[in-house]
Each structure stands twice: as structure tokens, then as C-alpha cells.
Amino acid sequence: MAKTKKDLSTVKAVYNNLRSGTRKINEILQSIRGKKVDLVLRDLQFNNKRVSKEIIKTIKSAVANAENNNQLDIDSLFVKEAYVGKGITLKRFRPRAKGRAASIKKHYSNLTIIVSEKKETAAVQGA
């Protein structure tokens, strides 16, 4: 069995059972993919959506993992991937008129942030 070498320049942080729907989270994640981490944290700080605080926590966790576990330079980190998956759904019921009941679905999501270190390339040699 061949062993694959683990890429130490990428680090992942996962937030399981985040109390929000996937569409609401994905709207924010589209705006942060591919950007530098310090710019993303600044932009999310001024975002007025409630779920942006949990996204900030997850990004800070990924940065801490990169710094402590892989000894990466936090100034050169960028968001390589940011995606959200569907989690559990709590089903609740609200009483309605004439003995009926209306269902309420409370959606949860699983958020994954992958940060990577941008490689500094040597100066391009021109003619």
C-alpha cells in the first residue's frame, strides 16, 4: 500500500452543527474564497449577518491550526476553499386552528474552511 504524502501547506477547520441554513452561509462564503485571511476577517467583521461571527471563529481556528500545528506564516495565508454542507434538521410543530399542526424545520449546517500558504515565487527574469 503506497503512502501519500500529506500536504503541510494547507490546513482545515470544521464547524459542525452550525445553527443556520446552507443558503445563508453560502452567500457569505462566495465572497471570501481566494482572499487573504486578514482581509476576510476585516470584511466579515462589518458584515451584518448573524452567521458571520461563526465564520470568523472558524477562520481563526484554521489560522491557529496553521500556526501551531504546521508552523505556517499567518501573513501569507489565504482562504483556499470554503464550503458548507447540509447538517441535521430538527422538526418542531406549532399548533394551528381546528386542531391542526404546522411543522417547523430548524436547519443545521457543517462549515468547512481550508486555508493555504501562498508560495512566494522568485522574481520573474525578463529579457
pLDDT tens-digit map of 43-99 = 999 999 999 999 999 999 999 999 998 888 889 999 999 999 999 999 999 999 999
pTM of the model as a whole? 0.83
SS (H, E, C) the chain: CCCCCCCCCEEEEEEEEECCCHHHHHHHHCCCCCCEHHHHHHHHHCCCCCCHHHHHHHHHHHHHHHHHHCCCCHHHEEEEEEEEEEEEEEEEEEECHHHCEEEEEEEEEEEEEEEEECCCCCCCCCC
Domain annotation for the chain: domains and CATH numbers = 10-117 (3.90.470.10)
Phi then psi for residue 56, to 5 deg, are -60, -45
